Chain A
Amino acid sequence: MSRDGTAAKDAEFSAWMSARQPALMRTAYLLTGDHHSAEDLVQTTLAKVYLSWDKVQKRDVIDGYARRILVNENNSVWRRAWKKREVSSDEVPERQAVSDRYDEGQRSALWDHVQTLPRKQRAVIVLRYYEELSEAETAEVLGISVGTVKSQASRALATLRQDASRHAAMSGEEER
Chain B
Amino acid sequence: MSQYVATPGDLKMGMKLPSIKPSAMWSKAWFVDYDNGNNGNSMVNSPEFPMKTLTGALAKMGRGDVVYLRPRPYSGTDPQGILDNAVVPIALQGISIIGSGPQSFDPFDMQLRGAAAGAILTVRAPQISIENLCFNRGSSTTGHIRLESSSTDATKKAWGINIFNCHIRNGNIKATAGGALYADNVWYLNIEKCVFVGNQTAIALFASVDSIQNVRIANCDFLHTAAAGVAGIDCHIFGNVLCNQIRITFCYFPGTVPTGLAGATISRYMTLTGCEKGSVDNCIFAAAAAGTFGAAGNNAIIPTTVVIANNYREDAVANVPIIRT
A joins B in a complex: no
Interface set of A (CB-CB < 8 Å, partner B): none
Instruction: Identify the B interface with A (CB < 8 A).
Output: none
